[in-house]
Chain A
């Protein structure tokens, strides 16, 4: 069964701290790993994505780390801000022609 397991379910981080969300997958055919950010009352929006040919991708304060051998990837949010408080979903798909499989989400709260 194609699954993406995401942890933790919820996370509270102090302002300025590092938020880390982890995902694990089983299907070795997955070759696209995006993270989506969802604010209350809004639809999810693509935050950052990585392919397995690189081990890390950074965009501003957001970094994806990818470990192909362990079949794990994670999102790091550096210098976390209250405006980062949202629900984050990891996902995976194979060759863009199969549906995205989403993790169950992590609710992040950044407190001042």
Chain B
């Protein structure tokens, strides 16, 4: 089944404790991206990647890191999480930036 998977789906952590949210797609898509969704603010792009080893900042990159060492994986790293990063996170992939396939989401709470 063609899909985008994210892990974990739910995470509660404390301020400053490094965490990684994994994202994997099995559709051989070049384009992958991370979004955060907050009430009233819609979907805001954090980082995106046009291909392996190519990443670029989106609208809200501060406090986040990404890497794209393999085509199928695009992990999101929070080196020192803060409460303002409490949000719902979505990974998405696309064959060329047009139709994006979203993962199921990761709900992160930072206390």
Interface residues of A (CB under 8 A from B): 6, 9, 32, 34, 41-46, 49, 89, 93, 96-100, 102-105
Contacts and interface: CB of A to CB of B under 8 A. Distances in A.
A104 B97 contact: no
A20 B45 CA distance: 26
A93 B42 contact: no
A93 B98 contact: yes
Contacts, number: 52
* A-B interface, 7 closest residue pairs, ranked by CB to CB distance from nearest: A43-B102, A104-B42, A96-B97, A102-B43, A96-B98, A105-B42, A96-B96
Interface residues of B, number: 23
Interface of B: 4, 33, 35, 40-45, 48, 50, 58, 90, 92, 96-100, 102-105
Given A43-B102, A97-B96, A100-B97, 6 more contacts: A43-B90, A43-B92, A43-B104, A43-B105, A45-B102, A105-B43
